[in-house]
Structure 1
Amino acid sequence: MSKNEILLIYDKECPACDYYCQLVRIRESVGVLKLIDARDNSDVLAEITELGLDIDQGMVLKMEGEVYYAADAIHVLALISSRSGVFNRMNYWMFKSQYLSTICYPALRFFRNMLLKILAKTKINNLNINDNSRF
């Protein structure tokens, strides 16, 4: 990972997650956003697993050696995002507040999990959790 490379690890099989990640743009002065499918077995997923982060319950943003998870990831993305385009302006205004990000993220995760259940998508289960009640 280069110094200005920012990694966003998410479930590419989730249409909502993929749509969000494809649309989000960060300011060029911050770095280059690299999207990583959490379903690919990668070193960064192994690192996330080692940290005990359940990728099924939140996306991960890795930037400048720091790891941001779930609501924190979407909040930091909003702060470093470009303000160009309607989507990115809305993303900034909605998630620039840590408080609002923390309040909204569980609802977003709930709808994501329901969407995956409707689409019959399997969990990534990077922590090998046998809890079926999350969907």
Structure 2
Amino acid sequence: MKIELYYDKECPFCKYYANYIKLKQNHNLILINARDSKKTIDEFTKHGYDINDGFIIRVDGKKLYQGSDAIIYLNKISKKKIYFNNNKFFKNFIYPSAKLLRKTILTLIGKNSKI
């Protein structure tokens, strides 16, 4: 299985999570800085995905997941699991809070939160 993970390498949280996931042992995981992949990000946008709303993963060149769905998918197939007591709570509260924190941190360190 080939998994491309598009993330914001300038975001400390995104960078940490991308390095943490460590799927390479069982899957072909390719980490891609979304800021360096304008053409692909524009392609995703045409299909209704906005990188500013969170990670985007593409599995085997076909299936796309974004944001909390991407993290839940990666967690499901990963050896190192983050246990969510409730995926609905994660999707509706934790992930939106993390997105707001990401925006705030990038602003504080002088980076543009929009890719």
TM-score by length of 2: 0.85
Identity %: 31
Distance in 2 (CA, whole Å) between partners of 1:77 and 1:13 is 21
Q: What is the CA–CA distance in structure 1 between the aligned matches of 2:70 and 2:5, rounded to whole Å?
A: 9
| Cα deviation digits, residues 77-110 of structure 1 (max 9, x gap) | 110111xxxxx33x2x128x53133132101111
Are positions 1:26 and 2:23 aligned together? yes
Aligned residue in 1 for 2:108: 118
**Is 1:57 aligned with 2:47?**
no
Determine which of 53, 62, 67 is the counterpart of 2:64.
67
Matched, 1:81 2:78: yes
Answer yes or no: is 1:10 the counterpart of 2:44: no
Q: Is residue 2:98 matched to residue 1:102?
A: no
AA at the equivalent of 1:35: L
* 1:116 partner amino acid: L
Unaligned segments of structure 2, at least 5 residues: none
**TM-score where L is the length of structure 1:** 0.74
For the 8 Å contact 1:58–1:70, the answer to whether it is kept is yes
Structure 1's consecutive aligned runs of 4 or more residues displaced over 6 angstroms after TM superposition are: none
Greater Cα radius of gyration, structure 1 or 2 = 1
For each residue in 1:46-102, what CA deviation from the matched residue of structure 2 results, as whole angstroms up to 9, or x when unmatched? 3212113221121111113110011101110110111xxxxx33x2x128x531331
| Alpha-carbon separation, structure 2, partners of 1:8 and 1:100 | 23
Aligned length: 113
Superposition deviation, residue 40 in structure 1: 0.6
CA separation of 1:37 and 1:27: change in aligned 2, threshold 3 A:
closer
Verify the 8 A CA contact 2:6 2:56 in the aligned structure 1.
yes
Q: Which structure is higher in helix share? A: 2
- Structure 1 gap ranges (5+): 83-87, 126-135
Q: Which secondary structure state, in structure 1, belongs to the residue aligned with residue 35 of structure 2? A: coil
